[in-house]
């Protein structure tokens, strides 16, 4: 059915039908909302794995079901199982750290006290200016902060355990949806494009940005974060730092935020080593952090997503933080996606206005 330049498909100019369309769409979104996380990640994995799925389908003689099934197995083995194993190990370390801090076996404030005693006079005066030289108060803050952090991870583990049924259902819904999106995704995209009342040019611009930011976020941001976390965790383990896996996860999460990064974790540790006389360990950690961990972003990201596909760092930072605040963990991807679509839509408006 042909569409007009101004109004789109004629059926969308029927107000009664348009109202019905809005109502049933809202109702459908409402009943799907409890599973939105599974649907989101099923869609994301399908978009990321689409090029691989096309190659495997061609090698399978054009049999889309076989290609989608092989791709699904590879996604589970390469992407999902390692995350599940690391998550289980992380829960164990977080629970152990929480128990040690609560029992007093591990007192991070003592390490701070050792640092303060080795600082020069000007540094002590600087701490006094910010009310950080009162050891008892600072010790209480540090211990309380570490206790809360480890308690948070332990509570999350307990929450996941209590919601095991929901987690299992969501996981299988994600895999089920992923299979059909891999197999029938191209047909679905064509049907969506035929139904959306936008010009082909605008559809292409929005669709390209949507796909690009998902692949950039997953292949670039998440893979780079994983790499930096792994590298940082390995060095922490070699240096004998307690809870290396836990710190690796913290570094991976912080690396998602441009301008913040993993230095928030390894710099204080390096300063502690230098202040307590472990000069070689401190210098080794600084050199490793700058030359290895710090350069991963500059080396890996252009290889994975290309140099021209990045949004400005400040947009990524703000959209990621906002996404985390609104959507929780899913906001790591949803925040940048919404920001990219916002920029693409307004770019279309500015381009059209300039003509």
Decide if 62 contacts 236 (C-beta within 8 A). Answer: no
N- to C-terminal Cα separation, the chain:
28
What pLDDT does residue 74 have?
92
Rg of the chain (C-alpha set): 25
What pLDDT does residue 355 have?
60
Decide if 101 contacts 143 (C-beta within 8 A). Answer: yes
Cβ partners under 8 Å of residue 128, min gap 6: none
What pLDDT does residue 233 have?
87
Q: Interior CA angle at 125 toward 124 and 129, to 5°?
A: 120
Measured between alpha carbons, how far is 214 from 298 in angstroms, rounded to an integer? 19
What pLDDT does residue 10 have?
60
Measured between alpha carbons, how far is 197 from 194 in angstroms, rounded to an integer? 8
Q: What is the pLDDT of residues 178-229, one digit of tens each?
A: 999 999 888 888 887 777 777 777 777 777 777 777 777 777 777 888 888 8
Q: Residue ranges of the chain with pLDDT lower than 70?
A: 1-13, 90-91, 94-95, 97-164, 257-260, 301-311, 352-355
Structure tokens at 12: 């969308």
Angle between the 244-254 and 263-275 helix axes, to the nearest 10 degrees? 130
CB-based burial of residue 253 (10 Å sphere; 0-12 exposed, 13-18 middle, 19+ buried)? middle
Structure tokens at 116: 């303060």
> In the 3-class helix/strand/coil scheme, how is 51-88 assigned residue by residue?
HHHHHHHHHCCCCHHHHHHHHHHHHHHHHHHHHHHHHH
Decide if 324 contacts 305 (C-beta within 8 A). Answer: no
What pLDDT does residue 6 have?
47
Q: What is the pLDDT of residues 312-341, one digit of tens each?
A: 777 777 888 888 888 877 887 888 888 877
- Structure-token match 């940005």, residue found: 209
Measured between alpha carbons, how far is 169 from 163 in angstroms, rounded to an integer? 10
Closest to 101 measured CA to CA, from 62, 155, 134, 142: 142
Closest to 9 measured CA to CA, from 189, 188, 199, 187: 199
Decide if 182 contacts 72 (C-beta within 8 A). Answer: yes
Measured between alpha carbons, how far is 35 from 30 in angstroms, rounded to an integer? 10
Phi and psi angles of residue 50, each rounded to the nearest 5 degrees, phi first:
-60, -45
Structure tokens at 151: 């308690």
What pLDDT does residue 17 have?
77
> In the 3-class helix/strand/coil scheme, how is 256-325 assigned residue by residue?
CCCCCCCHHHHHHHHHHHHHCCCHHHHHHHHHHHHHHHHHHHHHHHHHHHCHHHCCCHHHHHHHHHHHHH
Cβ partners under 8 Å of residue 208, min gap 6: none
The residues spanned by each domain of the chain are 34-182, 200-355
Closest to 317 measured CA to CA, from 243, 234, 233, 257: 257
């Amino acid at each position: 059915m042909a569409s007009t330049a101004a109004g789109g498909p004629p059926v969308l100019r029927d107000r009664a039908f348009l109202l019905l369309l809005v109502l049933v769409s809202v109702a459908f979104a409402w009943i799907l909302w409890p599973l939105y996380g599974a649907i989101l990640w099923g869609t994301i994995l399908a978009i990321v794995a689409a090029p691989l799925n096309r190659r495997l389908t061609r090698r399978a003689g054009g049999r889309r079901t076989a290609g989608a099934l092989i791709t699904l197995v590879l996604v589970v083995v390469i992407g999902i199982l390692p995350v599940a194993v690391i998550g289980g190990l992380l829960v164990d370390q977080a629970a152990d750290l929480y128990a040690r801090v609560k029992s007093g076996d591990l007192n991070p404030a003592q390490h701070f006290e050792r640092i303060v005693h080795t600082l020069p006079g000007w540094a002590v005066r600087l701490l006094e200016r910010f009310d950080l030289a009162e050891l008892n108060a600072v010790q209480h803050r540090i211990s309380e902060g570490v206790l809360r952090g480890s308690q948070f991870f332990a509570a999350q583990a307990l929450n996941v355990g209590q919601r095991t049924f929901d987690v299992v259902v969501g996981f299988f819904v994600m895999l089920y949806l992923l299979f059909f999106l891999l197999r029938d995704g191209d047909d679905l995209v064509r049907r969506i494009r035929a139904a959306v009342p936008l010009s082909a040019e605008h559809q292409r611009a929005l669709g390209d940005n949507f796909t690009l930011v998902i692949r950039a976020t997953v292949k670039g941001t998440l893979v780079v974060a994983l790499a930096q976390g792994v590298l940082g965790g390995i060095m922490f383990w070699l240096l004998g730092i307690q809870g290396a896996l836990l710190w690796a996860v913290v570094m991976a999460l912080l690396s998602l935020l441009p301008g913040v990064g993993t230095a928030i974790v390894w710099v204080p540790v390096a300063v502690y080593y230098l202040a307590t006389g472990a000069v070689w360990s401190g210098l080794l950690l600084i050199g490793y952090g700058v030359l290895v961990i710090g350069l991963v972003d500059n080396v890996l990201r252009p290889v994975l997503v290309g140099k021209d596909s990045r949004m400005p760092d400040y947009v990524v930072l703000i959209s990621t933080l906002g996404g985390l605040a609104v959507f929780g963990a899913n906001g790591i991807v949803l925040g940048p996606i919404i920001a990219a679509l916002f920029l693409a839509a307004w770019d279309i408006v500015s381009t059209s206005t300039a003509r």
